[in-house]
Structure 1
């Protein structure tokens, strides 16, 4: 797992506010609060000890701010010097605007993976979406997103795509259901642009797309979409996402089963050449 190190102090001595708290920030903040309360200190008293304002202490405890190194060191000394805060601070990760909280860890793993496999049956995978298609996806969010939220979502999604070209030695493999390409999300013009975009992104040798045909009589992944990757240490991990949640899967037995399902589906899908031919035909129909 990749982690971000604790950030240096910013001008003014305040900790930097996060766009959207990560789980690690919330957990660290809860530990700070628990230790502070166990020591019988109010936020004002604790703030005086660590030389930060009461409001900064509150923001850290609520996971709203990334604590800088000086905050961690002073808090450690003020709360017993057990090493718990120093150790846990090494695993802090920033909130990332535009990415769902449950997806952030996987997004970081994507950046260092030596191989990435994706099966999708709902939408075009985010790594292959055109800007107009991504915008149409987020236009369908319930409740509706504000203009600022929509732009942040689109920007974050598109920011992941350069890795396909920038990492030519990494294998990217996608299996996508045919009906996803046939659904006119956003309208015919958006779908024409999407098909051109997908054909362009999947042209390099390290990027492979297979389409799962609608008339297939067997299917190895009926339990839903899944992503699989291998880390530089050759560890295999999986990710499964549903309604308003996502799950990183690291258990060897479960990951092995998901790889078996994916390999089965790969044998059932159209080969890459026929898959591109299908997309080219769909492009001509629109």
Structure 2
């Protein structure tokens, strides 16, 4: 789940599972920083965001059913923002262009593209045009393979009701 979309309860569950465990002060600092960054979602002028999230994230119920309910409620609120597109990659899908791991594409104010690929112990900023082209292709495929925003909201509402 992207940090920009994590409610406090979900962020706490994630920070609590990190090894080695952070001190209480480190945990609070991480959570506060994550929540502060979320102001980007509502800052004007708006920045456009597009998120594709795997359905398995919700079925895992990180932090338990109540944390998952809060997560879904938070995502439903975010999906109503005029600058946020939220799509869910269904659990059963014959194609999934994101199996190589999470990545972000960012466009600067100068209209230059930067990619970021994340792993367990490392993250990598990508600026090479070939790497960026590949990420754009993967992202385009993910947008086609995932549920559209309206169907994604419907799925979230059904999952919320079954918790």
TM-score above 0.5, yes or no: yes
Provide Cα deviations, 1:111-163, integer angstroms capped at 9, x if missing partner.
xxxxxxxxxxxxx1100001000000000011111110110110011111011
Report the Cα offset of residue 256 of structure 1.
Answer: 1.0
**Aligned to 2:41, which of 150, 164, 171?**
164
Query: Taking structure 2 as the reference length, what is the TM-score of the superposition?
Result: 0.97
TM-score w.r.t. length of structure 1: 0.56
Q: 1:220 aligns with which of 71, 89, 97?
A: 97
Alignment correspondent of 1:277: 154
Aligned length: 163
Q: Whole-Å Cα distance in 1 between the matches of residues 46 and 65 of structure 2?
A: 35
- Once the two structures are superposed, the pairs formed by residues 202-217 of structure 1 within 5 Å of their partners are 202-217=79-94
Give 1:221 deviation, angstroms. 2.0
1:264 aligns with 141
Query: C-alpha separation between the residues in 2 aligned to 1:238 and 1:285?
Result: 36
- 5+ long unaligned stretches in structure 1: 1-123
Pair 1:127-2:4 in alignment? yes
User: Larger relative contact order (C-alpha < 8 A, sep ≥ 6)?
Assistant: 2
Could you list the per-position Cα deviations for residues 25-58 of structure 1 after superposition, in whole angstroms to 9, with x for gaps in the alignment? xxxxxxxxxxxxxxxxxxxxxxxxxxxxxxxxxx
Map of 2:57 onto structure 1: 180
User: What is the deviation of 1:168?
Assistant: 4.9
Q: Distance in 2 between matches of 1:277 and 1:256?
A: 32
Shift of 1:238: 0.2
After the TM superposition, which parts of structure 1 deviate over 6 Å for at least 4 consecutive aligned residues? none
Q: Which residue of 2 aligns with 1:195?
A: 72
Q: Does 1:233 align with 2:104?
A: no
Partner residue, 1:139: 16
Say if 1:168 and 1:206, in contact at 8 Å, map to a contact too: no
Give the greater-gyration-radius structure (CA).
Answer: 1
Q: Distance in 1 between matches of 2:144 and 2:30?
A: 34
**Residues 168 and 208 (structure 1 numbering): CA distance in 2 closer, same or farther, change over 3 Å?**
farther
The C-alpha deviation readout for 1:215-267, integer Å capped at 9, x for no partner, is 10011222111000111111011001111211100011110111111011100
